[in-house]
Structure 1
């Protein structure tokens, strides 16, 4: 494994699959003030405590029985944002972002973005202003980040190392 991609986290996420929140953050209970929660969208998001490039993130989520996160509508955006807001170290800036499964790797010349976890074209988006911009002609992977006090998406170089968000479509227990 590469540095920043710890094998003990694999065990932690496998325990998550058994409904024990050992590593990462997730939202699984209904708060009366919440507009949306994980039960509303039929999936749960897990924020990795470790970092990896886009491909490591994709591999890790898959090896843990999950998928790199897809966000396909406003309800899912609300749950994802709430999950990230529960992160006690949420910091401003793209370098502090979180990988999602969006990518234009299959169509780099046209920058058509698809969800790698589902193969579906990205219809709903939450791009930051002026994104995607494909800076340096090397930004083909989608990350979410806190920019100007708002969680938005941007295209990023797939080789960059950052945290990532996995999802599961099955909730196995009520916490």
Structure 2
């Protein structure tokens, strides 16, 4: 079954994720400060991952500080098993100019793994990469990967 078919079928089972836990995050999300994060156990291309996050009333994670990055890396190391997790960063707007979720403003915080980003002509999406202890790597957007969704803590 093609990856996009897998995601299409999984959407049916996610209705409960919109319920709210006591810590004001949707069910299945983990809170860190003012954001809630969901580490997928499913794979999809970058566009599919973003669609799934939006279905869950969130977006692909936007990492703007060392503290936030440390939290995500620690969670991936302790609980995550995936080789890669898509984040919301890409250089779609302009090659080698990385931004979050299509924003115009260039990233101010980065945590690239050794020799990353290393393939500016074909790898335009950012992943947390197990190969780099979950530091960032540039990666093929059309490959199916796990992903991290983020939403604000619910009021």
Query: Above 0.5 in TM-score?
Result: yes
What is residue 16 of structure 1 aligned with on the other side? 17
In the alignment, what sits opposite 1:168?
A: 151
- Cα distance in 2, alignment partners of residues 83 and 55 from structure 1: 23
Query: Which residue does 1:2 correspond to in 2?
Result: 4
Structure 2 residues not aligned, in runs of 5+: none
The whole-number CA distance in structure 2 between the counterparts of 1:106 and 1:127 is 19
Counterpart position of 2:36:
44
Give the TM-score of the pair, scaled to structure 2. Answer: 0.83
Rounded Cα–Cα distance in structure 2 between residues aligned with 1:63 and 1:104: 23
CA contact (8 A) 1:142 1:156 kept: yes
1:154 aligns with 2:119: no
Pick closer, same or farther for the CA change 1:5–1:56 going to 2, 3 Å: same
Structure 1, unpaired ranges of 5+ = 29-37
- C-alpha distance after superposition, 1:97-154 (max 9, x if no partner): 000000001102xx1001016554211001001100116x211110111125x22101
Give 1:98's aligned residue. 85
Per the alignment, do residues 56 and 23 of structure 1 end up closer, same or farther by CA in structure 2, a change over 3 Å counting?
A: farther
CA distance in 1, matches of 2:12, 2:108: 31
TM-score by length of 1: 0.74
